[in-house]
Structure formats: C-alpha cells, structure tokens
Structure 1
Amino acid sequence: MEDIIARMQDEKNGIPIRTVKSFLSKIPSVFSGSDIVQWMQKNLNIEDQVEALHLGTLMAAHGYFFPISDHVLTLKEDGTFYRFQTPYFWPSNCWEPENTDYAVYLCKRTMQNKARLELADLCAESLARLQRAFARKWEFIFMQAEAQAKVDKKRDKIERKILDSQERAFWDVHRPVPGCVNTTEADIKKSSRMKQPHKTRKSVYGLQNDIRSHSPTHTVTPEVKEPTEDELHDQIQHCQEQLDRHRLKMSKVAESLLSFAEQYLEYDPFFTTPEPSNPWISDDVTSWELEACKEAGQQRVKRWAFCFDEVMKDPVGREQFLKFLESEFSSENLRFWLAVQELKKRPIREVPTRVQEIWEEFLAPGAPSAINVDSRSYDKTTQNIKDPGRYAFQDAQEHIYKLMKSDSYSRFIRSSAYQELLQAKKKKSKNLF
C-alpha cells in the first residue's frame, strides 16, 4: 500500500494535489475521491470501478489518506475532498498509542477555539471517561496538552490546518467510531515484527513511562509461580493429547473440495445445462417422467459409484443394491436398515407393534433374518425395546450402515451386475438421468 501511495504522490504521474477556494477560506493540499478512482484505473490496470473503490477504501481504512470532513475512513467516488497522511503516522511505524496519548489529544482539542476542532459527542464522552480514569494524573496530562497547543500555535496557519487533520485521521484509525472497520485488530504490524523483534510500546507525544504506567489498561505483572510436579504432568498430558488430535492441512482440505466440485460438476445446473431441462423453467416434463420410472439413466447409475450415500438416497439405487444382496443371500442387512427407516415415519400408535416385529425378525434369538451387530449395539437395543420408540434401533442401524458401506457396497460397485447396468444405460442414452 505504501508503494502505491508513493506513486500517487509522484509530482509528474501522481494525483494532482490542489488548493480549493471555499467561502471566506481555502482548503489546502486536497484531491477528490473521483481523482483517486481514475488514477487507480489508469495506473494500476484496474478495469472494474468497484474494485478500485474497494482497494481505495482499504487504504483509507489503514489511514494512508482520509476525508478532511468525516471521521468515517472510506472512499467515495464523488467530489469529497481527501488528503494524504504524513509518513510519520503510517501504520508501518508500529504505533501502539496509549490511552494517555488519546487523552492528551482530546484535551488539546478543547483548548483550540475553532469550530472545525470542536469535539463530537463520542469524543466528548471519551474525554470524560479518560478524565475519570486518570484523575490523579490529569494535571500532568493537561500540562502536556497545553505545551502541545503552544507549539501548534507557532506554526503557519495552513501547516497547522493540515497537521490538525492528519492527527485527527491518525486517531480515527486507532480509535475508530462505532460501526467502522478497526484495522488495528487485524495486526497490520506483522510484516514489521520480523525486522523489529524487540519492539516496545512508544508514545505518540513522547510521554514518560511514569505517566503511562497508570493507564487503565496497564496491569502490574504478578510474580510467576513455579509449577508443581502434578501441574507439569498435566501440561505434558495435555500436549500429548493435542499431538494425537486429528488435523488436516489446509492444502489437503482445498484439494478435497476441488475434487468434490469437479466430481459433481456435470450434476450442477449452475455450471452444466441439465438434459432434459428443468420442468419448472421450461415446458418439458421429461425429467419428471424419468424420475417416476424405475429405470435409471446413465448419469444416475454413474453417480452411484461416487459414494455409498448416493446409492442409499436413490430409490432405484436401493432397489438395485437389494437385488445384488439377494443374489449373494445377504440382503438382511439392507432390509433391516430400510425397516428402521420406515419405522421412523410410522404413526406413534403403530410404533410399539412395529418395533416388536423388527426385533423378532432381525435381532431376537433364532430370528429368521438375523443380522450381525456388535455386543454394545445389541445391549443398547435390548434396553431400548423395553420402552419402544422410533429410535429404538438407532445404534444397530448405524452399525449395519457402516458394515454395508465398508463391505457390501464395494462388492456391488465391482460386480458384473452394476457394470452391465452401467454399460446398458450408456448404450441406451448418454444424457438421461
């Protein structure tokens, strides 16, 4: 951003800075918001006006230039006048102004009898709050503000007007009005920390440490107590638990998301025109007719190979999967899962009877279609059927789902039945669901 500002301030190719005459006064060293946008589009190869406004707003929010008559640091493409900030107040100087500095600034503003320097309601409230917080040291703060005001009076009138606006803009960055972006929270000093690893706080007005130590935000550091042996063991255990936590690198997450998007690209109507067309948009009802029939198109069959969920949420997919399991004489798992799903939709008065029927068919000793569940799920289900409800078989259902996903599904996708189904649909049509 500072490189762009340096180019903006270039005498030959920069933004033209001028003095504007107004009623009974002059406004020195200003330029308009439209000047900034036009310069960015011309010199930064920005074609979109919205992008130029966004970049300019970011630079204004960091305080590199500011509106001369507004506390809200944003860029508008109109005749609003702006002024460049002096490099002394740039964020790259790693400012961390204290509340005492802000108190000196507000106090100094009250000493200057200028209408343009009158405190806004928010600033007046801040001054009153700081005056209460620094009641014991307020005399010293007042003396500092008075000394600063005397120095300012010795400056040229135009120079004083420019410096006053730049100082106000500095505090608009570090003490923004409610509703504005606080760029200091984003830690814009990261790039400078590597160059200044031993950076310390510094005062804007050169206040001594004795006054700043009484800041309401400053607390005395307590004495560090040596950790006990038990506390050290707890810390070690906590660190080991953190090491064992499953974490994914952002690169792997992004790669997975890209792979998912590419896999489902042809099924996304935002990117690929659906064939047949959407019946809600066009008058073609072919899509509804295909969905109603029991035969699945090539795209629909191909989608079953993506994951087990695609098979289970497709009625035709479940039917074909059931036929495959019946051919292997292992359909009881899927029939149990479907029965439990159907149970959840039953009227409450029919639930107890249906729970007992499912139990006797799949889980009771000597059941005709016994399923293989682990002991934990079986014990939990045994407890649940004493008070039968729609979710009495939840644990057993989840266990069976995982078994089918890890074993039966992979065999179904590799089976000749699925391959024949896929090839048959390819021959029939390439564009049916």
Structure 2
Amino acid sequence: MAAGPAPPGGCPSAQRPHLSKMERVVVSMQDPDQGVKMRSQRLLITVIPHAVAGEGPRRLGWGASGPALASPHPSLCCAGSDIVEWLIQKYCISEEEALHLGTLLVRHGYLYPLRDPLSLLLQPDDTPYRFQTPYFWTSTQWPAAELDYAIYLAKKNIRKQGALVDHEKPGVPSVLEQGPERGSCTARPRTWISTGGRYVLGATGRGGLADPCAGHLTGLVSQIEYCRKALGRTRVKSSVCLEAYLKFSSQHGPHDPIMSGCLPSNPWIADSDTYWVVNAPSVAAPTKLRVDRWGFSFRELLEDPMGRAHFMEFLRKEFSAENLSFWEACEELRHGGQAQVPALVDAVYEQFLAPGAARWVNIDSHTMERTLEGLRRPHRYVLDDAQLHIYMLMKKDSYPRFLKSDMYRGLLAEAVVPPETKWRVFPFMRKPRRSSPSPALLASMEPAAAAGGPRGGDGEA
C-alpha cells in the first residue's frame, strides 16, 4: 500500500529531523514507477500467514501467540535484496551503507519483517518485508482504546490460549494484533498498564523498538501512580483542621511573649532581669507557664533541663531511669567531639547494651542486630536506632504516667506565678502625645481656621 498522509485519528507529534528524512525515503521507495519492486501476497484463513516473495510461497510466522488473520485482499511486500539494491542505485552508496540504512528503517518500524518479526535487521536475501502504513509511523500518535485489547483477549480465548505470555503481560511491549485495515498484517507494539484490576492500552513504540515518545508514557504511568496514592491518602475535614489550629493557638497563646507579654516584665525594654532569673536552667521553683509547657509534648519536657531532671526523678521511682540515661548518653555521643566518638561508643555499649550490663536497656532483637552491626565501624550516629526505640518507649509509656502522677500535679500546684510589672509589651506602638495630623485633616481644618480666625482674635483680645 502506498504511503499517504496520516489518518484523521492520529495526532502528529513534534517531528525529529532524522524521522522526516526516513519517512521521505519510505515514500520514495513506494513510488509505483521508480520505487522498490513489489510482489503481491494473499492472506488465507490460518494462524500462520503466507506470502509470495523471491522463490515462491514460504511459511511465514509471527510465533505461537500471533493472531489469526482473514482477508481476501492482496497485500504488497518486497524482498530485502530488492530494498538494498534500490538504496544503492538511488543514493549511490555502498552495500554496507545501504544495509545500515535499511536496518534503521526496520528498527524504526517503517519496514516490517514478515518472516521473523523479532529480528530487526535487514537481510540482503529473499526475506519478505512489508511497508508499514503511516498510521503506525513513529511521528504519529493515536488515542489508546481498551476495545482493542478486549478483542485481542477474545481471539486468544477462541484459540484456547487465554493465558498471557511474557511479552503480553502488563508493562511488557510487543503485543501483535491486526491493524486498522482489514487486509494489513501489522505488528503494533503496546504496553498494557494495570490500573485497579483492569488494563489500559498505551503505545510504546513501532517495529519492536522503544518509542521516541516513551517519555509521554512514563509521565502517564507516574500520573496513574500519583492518582492511586491520592485516592488512598487520608483526608482531613476542614472543620477538624480549624479545630486543631484553634486548640494549638489557645494552648500556646499564654506562652507567646509577643501575644501575651513577659512575666514579670520584658528584660529587653526594662531595667529588671527578673524574667531571666525565674526561668534559669536550674531554679528552686519553676514558673507555672514553664511547668505547663512540659505537658505540651514529650520533646518540650526533654528540652528543658529542669523538666528532664524531674522526669529522671520520676523514672527512678519506677525503676526505669536507665532509659533516660541511655538517651542522654546517645545525645552526648551525637553532639560530642569526633575524637571521643570511639571511646563514647564503647562506654555506652558496656554500660547499657552489653550482656549483663549494669544499666541494661530493653531493645528488640532487630534493633540490637542493626546496632551491633554498626558497632564494627563506630560513628556518632551508630546508636540512632536504639535511641529512637528507647525514646518511643518513654514517650508512649512513661511520659503519660508522669503527667498523671502526683509529682507533676504537685509541681503545678507549687509553681510560681510572677507578679506582672506595668510595662508595655511594645512601647513603640504607644501613641505619642503630640502627633502630627494627617494631610487630609489639615486640608479640612484650613477653611474652618480661616473663618474662625477673626472671632478667635477678638475673643482673645
């Protein structure tokens, strides 16, 4: 069949220069007067099609999974030797160059080998080749249709070959099926992408090679994965989010020096440093705001030296103080000097992790295996897994009991509430006593002043 313009269903993509040149060569090869010599073949009702080329009829097959074709219309084919000879005469090139150019045409899907579709090489003998129709050219894209795949599966079931072979499974190209025209035998490589239990058809190339537009298919696969994850993502209602924001704001509002001020005063604008004194790392009695923050989160409790000291006292009463000691040792290892890392690792292992250690901590077997493997080459982060395990153990078990204990309630009851000093939080926001009026007010005041000036002058006199 002579080449012509792409069918209306296709959509021309951005043409590459080498594709344009190859398509012009293919169009010239199909010229009825000066093109390659064509031979007619007739497709019979059989699984393995037959073609007439060179030395007469030969059995040509697509493999065991090829579809059965039935068409009374003739189809044109040509031999590989005819193609090589035409290229040599047309472009005055050597036989090696002609073979290379013909192989490129085969690999890009412009020529389809009828005898061995998996061999993408141009053979300079009587091997028959068929020109692909422009519908299957690399520069043409067509919309994917699931109906084509359904028809293909129905054909396999009729032949009692319902199971998909390797090259037909999802994600693997080269599914051979009948072309859009009734009398054409075409190899239409595609990929069937599994989406939620069904298959979506996507083109991956022509002639058995990767499609130059494979980036489009990759983008389609990534979009499918993104949508699949989005459907499974937990959605939170707007009302729930707003309630969480309101709760957070109401909880942290009294502790924000900008919103509520500093008690007893802001040391940056006052001469008193009482605020720094009552909030020192170690004091006799903490402030009520400071003790309240310990209940916000476990991280707030550990970041405050005084809160960590009271938590250590609570753990001693529960006979689990070694957990917090191990966490502190890991923090010292992580933020300590590099020269002391090997010695600190050995000390922590001997004190907390070694069999029969004096302050042994309870760590699961998998975490212990990873930790022991890392101890062969110690570094400052070698105990991160064990530290995280102990941290989560204290957060989920010991920390809630600490907040409900009599010790924490006593700290809240005995906490100090500093008396408020009468200082403005932002003195620069204080309105000056003698401020200049706006130009708009001055403009409106001028007529009134001019009219009342004489009377005012008479009154004053």
TM-score by length of 1: 0.45
- Bigger fraction of residues in helix: 1
Greater relative contact order (Cα < 8 A, sep 6+): 1
With structure 2 as the length reference, what TM-score do the two structures score?
Answer: 0.43
